[in-house]
Amino acid sequence: MKYGVLKSYAVLENKHYLIAMDGVWFYQSKNIHCQHCLHRELKDGEQIYYHNMAAAALVKPGVETVLPLMPEFIHNEDGGELCSPEKQDCERNAVKRWLLKHETRYQWLNPIFLGDDLYADYPTYAAITEQQKSFLFTCKPESHRRLYDSLDEGCMERKTVREWTGRTHLEYRYQWYNGVEIREELPTLKVNYVYLEIWNEQKGKGTYKGSWVTNIEIMEKNVVELVECARARWKIENEHNNVLRNKVPPTSWVSS
């Protein structure tokens, strides 16, 4: 804050900061393991043991450097025999623990949490909204059939933005709808849905499709930036997790 670096990560009228979350393996072995290891049986019947964590980082669209935050480790508490796979600790549980542990620590950032489709479930939504925070999660049709069945394309709002890349015209086609139930069973929550398709005129086909849900009202004036923020989730995988796995920063990080 002293040098104003953190302020450059603010988004949406400089009122919010993006905290991307994602699970990352950082150790695995077929032979060496501890009482806290997660485990999985491979197709050949062998056991693989591993350590995993729910990582968190501040990200911003167009900014290459991410700022890592405290992670939450995913590990079994049972110090005796290995527990069954369905009773093991998991990424969703770790994220909920992270939210509880850091409820006040990052409150001043007015954060928007980014995550993949794994996080897009009612318990995670409820945990975030109860803390009066925001989320922007990937939402796939196959795991949210109730939501997609409830959408009426005729009622969705639309916006199209054209861009010249120097080689071809791209058409960014946005569609959104505010106030759709996330699931059929009760209790439930209403979320706001947004979809993007990028159409490549030179190729005559769509080259990208993505959809997300959020508790932030989607409007014509913010839909483009909201989608840019949602797509910044990949930065925690590319600029954070891959660095941890490979232990060597990407070449682009090396200053000249």
Residue 254: inside a domain, yes or no?
Answer: no
pLDDT in tens, 154-181: 899 999 999 999 999 999 999 999 999 9
pLDDT in tens, 230-243: 999 999 987 776 66
Structure tokens at 99: 């939210």
3-state secondary structure of 198: strand
3-state secondary structure of 197: strand
Average the pLDDT over 193-219 and give the result.
Answer: 96
Residue 253: inside a domain, yes or no?
Answer: no
Total residue count of the chain as it appears in this document: 256
With a cut of 60, say whether residue 153 has pLDDT above it. yes
Q: What is the pTM of this model?
A: 0.87
With a cut of 50, say whether residue 2 has pLDDT above it. yes
Domain encompassing residue 151: 9-246
Separation CA 54–CA 20 (nearest Å)? 10
pLDDT band at 244 (very low <50, low <70, confident <90, very high): low
Residue pair 157/175 in contact (Cβ under 8 Å)? The answer is yes
* Number of independent structural domains in the chain: 1
Residue 2: inside a domain, yes or no?
Answer: no
Residue 256: inside a domain, yes or no?
Answer: no
Other C-beta atoms closer than 10 Å to the C-beta of 199 total 17
**Residue 107's CATH number:** 3.90.350.10
pLDDT in tens, 38-93: 888 888 889 999 888 999 999 999 998 999 999 999 988 753 344 445 578 889 99
Residue 19 pairs in a beta bridge with 58, 113
Percentage of the chain lying above the pLDDT 90 cut: 70
Separation CA 221–CA 184 (nearest Å)? 31
